[in-house]
């Protein structure tokens, strides 16, 4: 007990020391944020824009042109766009306009019934294949490699009538909470340019929050959809496994190597809750998830987690995130008349280790091989020396990650122990949630932090990654702003294929907190 107390105190002072040092480093730099878009078309949901198309009050080319203008305005500051697709977007928008002009009112209604995202601009992260565009996952050597086909998720968005605007920036090989690489540089938060928008779908999060698109597509193996949503005041949905086809995503072994295939899911990031279901797209998703069923809110059971129990390597939630959770719980109580039950799981103290064990893929390529893009393996020590001099094409954190994996591999015995704890924890969670349970917890330990901070607090990834390891649907829901003016959020968790409960709960919270800007 005494030993654990000492570890807790050391961790307490460590997290505060790291935060204080980054505050001092950034204190001389003035806080700057991106201005709110003045064009009202840029501030509307896909559902509202669809209504304007149906009323013939809006043209596709006008809308696409407005979003391109907004991207050109904000991207020099936030650096969220990796590859622009503007010429193709305008070509498709003009084709859409010609089709709209040729239809009578009945034909128009039929078109939007069959293609519900017709004319809606969207973006996707730099790991999802878009025909004719390079997808780098942050590796400079891939800059000239263009995709020969669309990923199924992109194809489905286009079939629904959506118009692809741009590919957005990611961390190198996606495995970081900082969106920075040597192919496209660093992405900055639109709320405070000194801060990170999160990762790995950080470019998506920053661009959507800045009003550069209506909705976006990300991928989530440890929270890569939800963290950027949490840090940018957006909705991010990790749907149940098996709903979204994983093809066309890089690196491919994230989708098919051992446990990773169970952790990995692609999902939507949106500014408005009502756009999440259309962005998930196909009718099959609606059927499997029973999204059209009415949810009886009074029948739901709510639970909440305040922290990760005895875990010393995971930072406890700060005051703003704790307050955010409490406000969400009060909103549910006021609306439904039910109090949420506080719970704790003993095995959550090992959450970070469980995440690492789940991400490990002994049968797959090493991180150093991934960095070499399948052409051998990066020679780490010489490359690290070059990285220290700023001469490597790889980021130093990625090289150090590869070195740690090579030098300190997890033993088979330790991995087996952690995976056993994972399955025990999953069983307890599913028994608790059943078919009508929703779990709430803080979105993260804190709001968006200064660039570089997350490299020194890596175990905090467990806030989002543990739910990937447990293979359950999770939704990030914005809850307002911290005293510093940064977005806060909660996460909602349900049993597999009970995603509709997450959406219904988020609707209550959205009604309470109001639309985020």
- The answer to whether the annotation marks 58 as part of a ligand binding site is no
**Geometric angle at alpha carbon 215, from 224 and 515, rounded to 5°:** 95
Residue 224 a catalytic site member: yes
Count CA atoms within 13 Å of residue 376 on its CB side: 3
Active-site pick, 33, 127, 200, 201: 200
Q: Is 298 a catalytic residue?
A: no
Decide if 469 contacts 263 (C-beta within 8 A). Answer: yes
Q: Is 366 annotated as a binding residue?
A: no
466 labelled binding-site residue: no
Q: Is 224 annotated among the ligand-binding residues? A: yes
Closest CA to 397 of 450, 336, 458, 348: 458
CA dihedral sign, ordered 149, 153, 155, 161: negative
What number of CA atoms fall less than 13 Å from residue 287's CA on the CB side? 3
Distance between CA 491 and CA 236 in Å, rounded? Answer: 9
Torsion 475-476-477-479 (CA) sign: positive
- Please, are residues 503 and 278 in contact by the beta-carbon 8 Å criterion? no
Indicate which residue of 127, 224, 392, 447 is catalytic. Answer: 224
Dump the DSSP string for 169-183. Answer: ---GGG-SSS-EETT
**Which one of the listed residues 33, 61, 125, 482 is annotated catalytic?**
125
Q: How far apart are CA 222 and CA 138, in angstroms?
A: 18
Instruction: Identify the DSSP state of 134.
Output: B
Rounded CA separation 328/433 (Å) = 18
Are 125 and 135 within 8 A, CB to CB? no
Q: How far apart are CA 445 and CA 451, in angstroms?
A: 16
- Cα–Cα nearest to 224, from 255, 197, 256: 197
146 is known as an active-site residue: no
Residue whose entry in the numeric block shows the structure tokens 């804190």: 446
Residues pairing with 489 in the sheet: 478
222 is in an annotated binding site: yes
Give the per-residue SS3 of 183-243.
CCEECCCCCCCCECCCCCCHHHHHHHHCCCCCEEEEEECCCCCHHHHHHHCCEEEECCCCC
The DSSP symbol for 103 reads -
Q: Determine the straight-line distance between the first and last CA of the chain, rounded to whole angstroms.
A: 46
Annotated binding residue at 440?
no
The residues assigned a catalytic role are 125, 200, 224
Annotated binding-site ranges: 174, 200, 221-224
Annotated binding-site ranges for substrate: 174, 200, 221-224
């Amino acid at each position: 007990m005494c030993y654990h107390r000492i570890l807790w105190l050391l961790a307490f002072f460590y997290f505060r020391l790291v935060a204080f040092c980054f505050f001092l480093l950034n204190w001389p730099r003035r806080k700057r944020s991106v201005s709110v878009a003045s064009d009202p078309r840029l501030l509307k949901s896909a559902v509202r824009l669809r209504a304007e198309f149906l009323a013939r009050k809006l043209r596709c080319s006008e809308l696409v042109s407005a979003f391109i203008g907004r991207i050109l305005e904000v991207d020099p500051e936030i650096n969220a766009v990796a590859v622009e697709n503007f010429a193709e977007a305008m070509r498709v928008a003009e084709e859409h306009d010609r089709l709209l002009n040729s239809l009578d009112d009945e034909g128009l209604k039929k078109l939007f019934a069959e293609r519900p995202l017709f004319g809606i601009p969207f973006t996707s992260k730099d790991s999802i294949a878009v025909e004719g565009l390079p997808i780098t996952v942050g590796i400079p050597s891939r800059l000239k490699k263009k995709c020969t086909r669309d990923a199924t998720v992109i194809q489905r968005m286009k079939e629904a009538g959506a118009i692809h605007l741009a590919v957005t920036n990611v961390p190198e090989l996606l495995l970081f909470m900082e969106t920075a690489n040597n192919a496209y540089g660093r992405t900055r938060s639109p709320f405070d340019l000194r801060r990170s928008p999160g990762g790995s779908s950080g470019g998506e999060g920053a661009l959507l929050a800045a009003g550069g698109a209506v909705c976006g597509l990300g991928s989530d193996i440890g929270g890569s959809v939800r963290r950027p949503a949490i840090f940018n005041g957006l909705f991010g949905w990790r749907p149940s496994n098996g709903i979204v086809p994983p093809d066309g995503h890089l690196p491919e072994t994230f989708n098919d190597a051992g446990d990773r295939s169970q952790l990995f899911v692609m999902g939507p990031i949106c500014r408005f809750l009502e756009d999440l279901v259309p962005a998930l797209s196909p009718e099959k998703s609606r059927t499997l998830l029973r999204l059209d069923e009415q949810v009886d809110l009074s029948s739901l059971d709510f639970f909440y987690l305040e922290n990760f129990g005895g875990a010393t390597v995971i930072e406890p939630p700060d005051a703003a995130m704790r307050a955010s959770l409490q406000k969400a719980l009060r909103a549910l109580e006021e609306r439904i008349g039910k109090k949420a039950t506080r719970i704790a799981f003993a095995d959550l103290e090992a959450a970070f280790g469980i995440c690492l064990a789940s991400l490990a893929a002994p049968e797959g390529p090493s991180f150093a091989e991934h960095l070499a893009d399948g052409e051998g393996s990066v020679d780490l020590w010489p490359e690290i020396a070059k990285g220290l001099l700023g001469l490597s094409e790889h980021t130093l954190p990625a090289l150090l990650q590869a070195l740690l994996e090579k030098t300190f591999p997890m033993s088979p015995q330790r991995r087996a122990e952690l995976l056993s704890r994972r399955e025990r924890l999953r069983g307890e969670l599913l028994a608790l949630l059943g078919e009508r349970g929703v779990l709430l917890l803080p979105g993260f330990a804190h709001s968006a932090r200064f660039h570089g901070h997350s490299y020194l607090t890596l175990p905090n990834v467990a806030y989002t990654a543990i739910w990937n390891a447990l293979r359950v649907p999770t939704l990030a829901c914005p809850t307002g702003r911290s005293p510093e003016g940064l977005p806060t959020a909660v996460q909602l968790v349900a049993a597999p294929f009970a995603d509709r409960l997450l959406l219904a709960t988020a609707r209550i919270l959205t009604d309470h907190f109001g639309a985020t800007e």
